[in-house]
Amino acid sequence: MSTGTSHGTVYPVSPELKVRSLVDNERYLAMYQQSIINPEGFWREHGQRIDWFNPFTKVKKVSFDDHFVDINWFYDGTTNASYNCLDRHLETRGDQVAIIWEPDEEGEARKVTYKELHEQVCRFANALKSQGVRQGDVVAIYMPMIVEAIVAMQACSRIGAVHSVVFGGFSPEALAGRIIDSSAKVVITADEGVRGGKKIPLKENVDEALTHPSIKSVEKVIVYRHTQADIAWHDHRDVSWTDMTAIASPYCQPREMNAEDPLFILYTSGSTGKPKGVLHTTGGYLVYASMTHEYVFDYKQGEVFWCNADVGWVTGHSYVTYGPLLNGATLVMHEGLPNYPEVNRISKIIDKHNVNILYIAPTAIRALMAEGDKAVAGTSRQSLRLLGTVGEPINPEAWHWYYKTVGEERCAIVDTWWQTETGAAMLTPLPGATDLKPGSATRPFFGVQPALVDNAGLLIEGEGEGNLVILDSWPGQARTVFGDHDRFIQTYFTHFKGMYTTGDGARRDKDGYYWITGRVDDVLNVSGHRMGTAEIESAMVAHKSVAEAAVVGFPHNIKGEGIYVYVTLNSGTEYSDELKSNLRQWVRKEIGPIATPDIIQWAPGLPKTRSGKIMRRILRKIASGDYDNLGDTSTLADPTVVDHLIRDRALAS
Ligand code: ATP
Ligand code: MG
């Protein structure tokens, strides 16, 4: 049940959720207080949620000073990530399914128990060792969404190697760049990946990447046979996964790692510029990933958890791999596309595997919404009890569609705001504690101190809007940009002294809820009024004909900056001038005359990162007619979209 108008709707926690959940609101407030007043005590207690070989006595040593940024958690403890994800579950749930793998084509799923996963990881870890991989070596993983991607990550962490997962959809060039940046010693790949019925020549891409003259570090390429495709084989470098694991011993002792030893490098999505190779370490990341997975999704033993992110993104690290495995969950992993072979594939997978918790991105939700009820046709989704979203601000319209059509008003939605750099969720509802407001990522997780500052760095109290910063460290925080600590300091700690700068703007309402307004770099200044992109985009998406919208500023003689909107319509809707003027009227009514779009361009496709985020920096260039220097486009999902937008620029009005 909801209260309020369609804009300010509030969905109170249902009585059932309040009872079944780990924390209700009183408990949330008490725990949150404790986590802020006494972080040492709070994290000393919750740091125990993972197993330590040598227990930590020191909890936290942190400096956000821009002369010396240094972040340490649990830093005299020793542990191992793979041990925590696998070994400690063997006694209690060795025969429980850890991974349900759903192939691209509809067909039989593959199920792997904790015991089986443990053995596969051990064998592969031994195989890695036999290829000379040692503690601290970087291993690039360029794999499709198959069980072996998780096995590879686990095997690396088991022996203390640092994995650097590169999204399997990246080009040879993008892969080469990441190999060079991280000095990877080994590349793990498959013959091919399969997505939406199309084959992706992963091994061929690796071969091409390795022709890059600057790559000197790679000694071996380990190849998993997934589709059995014909591939070129280089005896001096290529090694067969299957041959190696067949002769490897089925047990591998997990390496004792210091809490602050590196666990992985991961490149950001590249929405705002050249991707950053973010480094996460072991102890703090494990504690924070597992704790958020349990509390945010209110995960209970035996439930089936499905996060459909690719392992190439941080969401795929924290909520496909580490979080669920640390908590002994049963997770679903899907190889293919969410709308293949039909737009109801997600719904069918939910029914097939009795998924209880679904976690997907707004881009997927909007794509499904554009197809209306077809997205759920012929399915019941009775097993679902909780929905989640991450990656971009979710427009309230998309939120409501997700809530009503996918969850049948039965399931709460957790809108989680976080970043590659934060390791795991930072602003998020907790299902049993937080009344929901569509479009708001609500309140901070335990130990997280968000704040708003103006451009001069002054703290904004109470209701207001400004730059979202975090005032103190949390265990899941990135420790550096790999090989470039200066860039880490420059990017996150110099804008506002002593604080972590997120690069996002936010508004805080009277209840202390946070609303992400968009990237700070994308803020519009129209006749002296500062406006985030999210609000105007959400107003557009609220129109019945609009599937998706992206807003940018462009130079305007009178206003300083004008509002330029790219609009994608729902499937089957006709693009017309009449509709354009309707949309202008619509935004005037929804927000006010100040937000009226100056120019609308029809955009059957929007430029997105490979992780599904709108790249407004490219749209800004197109809007201002500056086509020559589009910046780093290496993470662009479909370059032809950009060509079409440039071609159609003249038709915008
Ligand atoms: P780059 O840092 O290279 O520009 P990126 O910021 O897109 O890329 P990610 O770390 O994948 O890389 O994305 C984090 C960003 O995604 C956040 O800073 C925020 O802008 C956006 N985001 C994530 N979740 C949410 C959410 N629930 N609501 C609003 N925005 C979100
Ligand atoms: Mg970012």
Give the residue from 388, 333, 382 showing the smallest Cα distance to 357: 388
> How far apart, in whole angstroms, are the C-alpha atoms of residue 242 and residue 118?
16
Contact assessment for residue 472 and residue 444, using Cβ atoms and an 8 Å cutoff: no
Q: Identify the pLDDT of residue 5.
A: 40
Pocket mutation for ligand 1, best pick of 272, 292, 363, 392 (most atoms within 8 Å of C-beta): 392
What token pair was written down for 377?
């046709």
For the CA of 534, the closest atom of ligand 1 is 29
Give the residue from 253, 317, 279 showing the smallest Cα distance to 53: 253
- For residue 502, report the distance from its CA to the centre of ligand 1, in Å: 9
Q: Which residues of the chain have pLDDT under 50?
A: 1-6
Q: Identify the pLDDT of residue 1.
A: 43
Please return the burial class of 379, using the count of CB atoms within 10 Å of its CB with bins 0-12, 13-18 and 19+. middle
Give the residue from 148, 328, 409, 174 showing the smallest Cα distance to 163: 148
Q: Identify the pLDDT of residue 6.
A: 41
Among protein residues, the one with the nearest Cα to ligand 1's atom 19 is 392
Among protein residues, the one with the nearest Cα to ligand 1's atom 31 is 392
Q: Identify the pLDDT of residue 8.
A: 72
pTM to 2 decimals? 0.96
- For ligand 1, is residue 393 a contact (CB within 6 Å)? yes
* Helices and strands, counts by H and E, the chain: 21, 31
Contact assessment for residue 523 and residue 345, using Cβ atoms and an 8 Å cutoff: no
- For ligand 1, is residue 519 a contact (CB within 6 Å)? yes
Sequence ranges of the binding site for ATP = 391-393, 415-420, 504, 519, 530
Strands (E) across 391-513 are located at 412-416, 450-453, 459-460, 464-470, 480-481, 500-508
Which whole-number Å values give the CA distances from 63 to 72, 271, 456, in the listed order? 9, 28, 21
Ligand closest to Cα of 418 equals 1
Give the residue from 20, 23, 14, 11 showing the smallest Cα distance to 296: 23
Angle among Cα 31, 37, 41 to the nearest 5 degrees reads 75
Query: How many CA atoms, within 13 angstroms, populate the side-chain half-sphere of residue 248?
Result: 23
- For ligand 1, is residue 441 a contact (CB within 6 Å)? yes
What token pair was written down for 326?
């640390």
